[in-house]
Chains A and B, each alone.
Chain A
């Protein structure tokens, strides 16, 4: 039997000697760690609170890192890394026969798999700002450059490019891009164990992005809108695909969560668009009723939907000599993902790795680099609806049919735990790799410190997967106006609490007897440049004076 090398005050779990004070030492260690973790979390939370929402939390991150390093050194001084006794007791596992091989492996893993600290949210911020400033061409250039330079960002960048194309009048190109991404996302719904394995050695960015559920629905909604803005040939098919996708996602939701699919909440906008197109046939009112009923069940307090429902049950699309204008208003800046440090989990992992290092046979690199996960940010918006006037006569405000902010937050909350679990598992794999390499070449001396530093750097190279469709609005709102056939002046005014908050934008529209005219506009906020597109633009000299 080997004698325990530690004194009674600091001895920990040792199967050989069963020292009496080991449980007290463990308790002390955990309490000290807990105190530091609490202090660290509170400091970080306070720093985050003081930061503006849109600014990266660089200051708090660096302070957190410094505090963490102090914490690790404090632990070192406290003498918790002295238990090299167990190394002599237990037989060391030998993975690598030579130190050179082990060092080379860790170095290779670090250099091969370190994906850098750059995230999609950082890369996309400049083109996004250009878009909101109304510089569509500059935004397109930035996005195209990004799509070429980063393979893993290509799909989400193409989605953003499709929005730029749609609002700059290139609806056909927008449709083509959206169709490509739709097919890619459908393909990527299949699991790839290769990518999952690689992501465990790197980060979630190594996996191909297959889109959030709401993005998959919105791709089809925007496909339908893009089609309506140029020829409308495939618009009905896209609305059918919206319904198919809803059904498929509901089944996948039920399978994933082991719950009934009824808990899956679809987007009312998809049903509304299907109803809108079926009503426009002047024949399939039964389909319109069915779809408006679905939408109305999802938004029971939406009065305009009830009007639509009453009309398709008993009335007609429009009176003879009249047509209909549908205004699709994209209101506010949409949600996007940013990288945040998951402080409580990082602290817990630090405590765990220190305990394992102190008690077990393995010396793990300390969790200095915090675990990074994506978080959803919804920028503040000073526009909540759009007021519509036709030839100067007020019609009313638009109504929300797709609250993207709510959807994005709900999706994030539903997946947050699994994201954290993946991040923790990844850390454990990395730590185990470094520990195994250290054990093969000896954990004392400069080599051990070097391996620890390499391990910490490898862990720090992780970045959160912040890929998302960045140029979505906060809300998609709709207003239906029936107007006499002819050319009209359509005026759109950003509103907050039914009060105008910005300059009105006017566009000429042509209403065709018995048909729909579609207007797509984007109001990111009261000061931003408003983007607008119309499926039947009128000639300004033929505008009617009266509605």
Chain B
């Protein structure tokens, strides 16, 4: 090896050294109108945001019709119905991690913004669950429901409706492609009459091992 060759090898190694330096991490604020990132392995904001929007909009639209014959308050406006949002149950194939509390707040805020309902604070709901030591899924039993609503009533939050949200999924597989249908169901139960209403929204999503998977499975020529 000549000196020139040796020096060129050293230069290449040094250059490689600079190229291989550890980088930093950067962040940026996403504009509200910008599209969400589409999760490559599981559902994220791109699935949950439209699910919540659609399900809550359907619920409010249907209940708007139902509230037309509700009692009128002292101000001459229909009285808002009190809703206790008990919680979200995740029965899907994926762990939703930190999305659970976000979904709760998202649904709760939308209901609160509407003119039809007055939602009860999550902290009061948690305190009532804590005090009664009841599981959320056990509240449908008449005795449990009476006890639970009595605790909330005593705290100054009378309840007209119990609201449950359930996230479910269905998975279809085809070779290296998978389609997962996510469904958010809102169940509204009237604690006075026992009547219940149910609405759901669905978003379908495809996962592929190759970039061509989307075109191969969802092109217009397919059935």
Please measure, in the bound complex, the distance between the C-alpha atom of A96 and the C-alpha atom of B6, giving whole angstroms: 9
Are B23 and A190 within 8 A (Cβ)? yes
Are B133 and A514 within 8 A (Cβ)? yes
Are A282 and B22 within 8 A (Cβ)? no
Q: Which of B70-78, B92-100, B190-198, B204-212 contacts A (4 or more CB under 8 A)?
A: B92-100
Please measure, in the bound complex, the distance between the C-alpha atom of A196 and the C-alpha atom of B13, giving whole angstroms: 11
Cβ of B2 < 8 Å from any Cβ of A?
Answer: yes
Among A193, A282, A319: residue with most chain B CB under 10 A: A282
Supply 6 A–B pairs (Cβ within 8 Å), ascending by A. A197-B13, A240-B97, A282-B126, A316-B135, A319-B133, A436-B1
| Residues of B with C-beta under 8 A to A190 | 22-23
The interface bits of chain A over 175-195 (1 if a CB of B lies within 8 angstroms of the residue's CB, else 0) are 000000000000110111110
| A290: nearest chain-B partner, CB-CB | B95
| Residue among B19, B23, B89, B136 making CB contact with A193, cutoff 8 Å | B19
Cβ of A138 < 8 Å from any Cβ of B?
Answer: no
| Residues of B with C-beta under 8 A to A93 | 1-2
Are A196 and B20 within 8 A (Cβ)? yes
| Residues of A with C-beta under 8 A to B87 | 283-284
Cβ of A52 < 8 Å from any Cβ of B?
Answer: no
| Residues of A with C-beta under 8 A to B23 | 190
- In the complex with contacts A285-B135, A285-B136, A514-B130 CB distance below 8 A: yes
Cβ of B65 < 8 Å from any Cβ of A?
Answer: no
Cβ of B200 < 8 Å from any Cβ of A?
Answer: no
| Residues of A with C-beta under 8 A to B19 | 193
| Residues of A with C-beta under 8 A to B3 | 94-97
Cβ of B134 < 8 Å from any Cβ of A?
Answer: yes
| Residue among B22, B89, B95, B134 making CB contact with A316, cutoff 8 Å | B134
| Residue among A94, A240, A316, A320 making CB contact with B98, cutoff 8 Å | A240
Nearest first, the 7 closest Cβ-Cβ pairs linking A and B are A193-B20, A194-B17, A190-B22, A282-B129, A93-B1, A514-B130, A95-B6
| Residues of B with C-beta under 8 A to A95 | 1-3, 6
Are B21 and A194 within 8 A (Cβ)? yes
Cβ of A303 < 8 Å from any Cβ of B?
Answer: no
Within 127-176 of B, Cβ neighbours of A (below 8 Å) are at: 129-137
| Residues of A with C-beta under 8 A to B131 | 320, 514
Please measure, in the bound complex, the distance between the C-alpha atom of A447 and the C-alpha atom of B167, giving whole angstroms: 78
Please measure, in the bound complex, the distance between the C-alpha atom of A187 and the C-alpha atom of B21, giving whole angstroms: 11
Are B17 and A287 within 8 A (Cβ)? no
Are B21 and A281 within 8 A (Cβ)? no
Within 57-80 of B, Cβ neighbours of A (below 8 Å) are at: none
Cβ of A493 < 8 Å from any Cβ of B?
Answer: no
| Residues of A with C-beta under 8 A to B25 | 187
| Residues of B with C-beta under 8 A to A187 | 22, 25
| A514: nearest chain-B partner, CB-CB | B130
Q: Shortest distance in angstroms between B121's beta carbon and chain A's nearest beta carbon?
A: 14
Please measure, in the bound complex, the distance between the C-alpha atom of A4 and the C-alpha atom of B16, giving whole angstroms: 44
| Residue among B1, B18, B126, B136 making CB contact with A194, cutoff 8 Å | B18
| Residues of B with C-beta under 8 A to A192 | 20-22
- In the complex with contacts A197-B13, A281-B126, A283-B129, A191-B1 CB distance below 8 A: no
| A291: nearest chain-B partner, CB-CB | B95
Please tell me the number of chain A residues within 8 Å of chain B, measured between CB atoms.
Answer: 33
| Residues of B with C-beta under 8 A to A514 | 130-131, 133
Cβ of B91 < 8 Å from any Cβ of A?
Answer: yes
What residues of chain A have their CB less than 8 Å away from a CB belonging to chain B?
A: 93-97, 187-188, 190-194, 196-197, 237, 240, 243-244, 281-287, 290, 316-320, 436, 514
Are B6 and A282 within 8 A (Cβ)? no
15 additional A-B residue pairs with CB within 8 Å, beyond A190-B22, A320-B131: A95-B2, A95-B3, A193-B16, A193-B21, A194-B17, A194-B20, A194-B21, A237-B98, A243-B95, A282-B126, A283-B86, A284-B100, A285-B135, A286-B89, A286-B90
| Residues of A with C-beta under 8 A to B126 | 281-283
| Residues of A with C-beta under 8 A to B16 | 193, 197
Are A286 and B91 within 8 A (Cβ)? yes
| Residues of A with C-beta under 8 A to B17 | 193-194, 197
| Residues of B with C-beta under 8 A to A282 | 126, 129-130, 133, 135
| B22: nearest chain-A partner, CB-CB | A190
| Residues of A with C-beta under 8 A to B98 | 237, 240
Please measure, in the bound complex, the distance between the C-alpha atom of A205 and the C-alpha atom of B133, giving whole angstroms: 55
Please measure, in the bound complex, the distance between the C-alpha atom of A243 and the C-alpha atom of B100, giving whole angstroms: 15
Q: Shortest distance in angstroms between A359's beta carbon and chain B's nearest beta carbon?
A: 20
| Residues of A with C-beta under 8 A to B6 | 95
| Residues of B with C-beta under 8 A to A286 | 89-91
| Residues of B with C-beta under 8 A to A196 | 20
| Residues of B with C-beta under 8 A to A320 | 131-133
Q: Shortest distance in angstroms between A243's beta carbon and chain B's nearest beta carbon?
A: 7
Are B133 and A283 within 8 A (Cβ)? no
The interface bits of chain B over 7-47 (1 if a CB of A lies within 8 angstroms of the residue's CB, else 0) are 00000010011111111010000000000000000000000
Among B98, B126, B135, B137: residue with most chain A CB under 10 A: B135
Please measure, in the bound complex, the distance between the C-alpha atom of A240 and the C-alpha atom of B101, giving whole angstroms: 13
Q: Shortest distance in angstroms between B101's beta carbon and chain A's nearest beta carbon?
A: 9
| A314: nearest chain-B partner, CB-CB | B135
Among A193, A436, A514: residue with most chain B CB under 10 A: A193
Please measure, in the bound complex, the distance between the C-alpha atom of A436 and the C-alpha atom of B9, giving whole angstroms: 14
| Residues of A with C-beta under 8 A to B100 | 284, 287
Please measure, in the bound complex, the distance between the C-alpha atom of A95 and the C-alpha atom of B131, giving whole angstroms: 82
Q: Shortest distance in angstroms between A360's beta carbon and chain B's nearest beta carbon?
A: 15
Please measure, in the bound complex, the distance between the C-alpha atom of A286 and the C-alpha atom of B164, giving whole angstroms: 13
| Residues of B with C-beta under 8 A to A94 | 1-3
Q: Shortest distance in angstroms between A254's beta carbon and chain B's nearest beta carbon?
A: 13
| A281: nearest chain-B partner, CB-CB | B126
| Residues of B with C-beta under 8 A to A290 | 90, 95
Please measure, in the bound complex, the distance between the C-alpha atom of A243 and the C-alpha atom of B6, giving whole angstroms: 48
Please measure, in the bound complex, the distance between the C-alpha atom of A252 and the C-alpha atom of B13, giving whole angstroms: 27
Q: Shortest distance in angstroms between A29's beta carbon and chain B's nearest beta carbon?
A: 28
Q: Shortest distance in angstroms between A324's beta carbon and chain B's nearest beta carbon?
A: 12
Among A93, A194, A244, A285: residue with most chain B CB under 10 A: A194
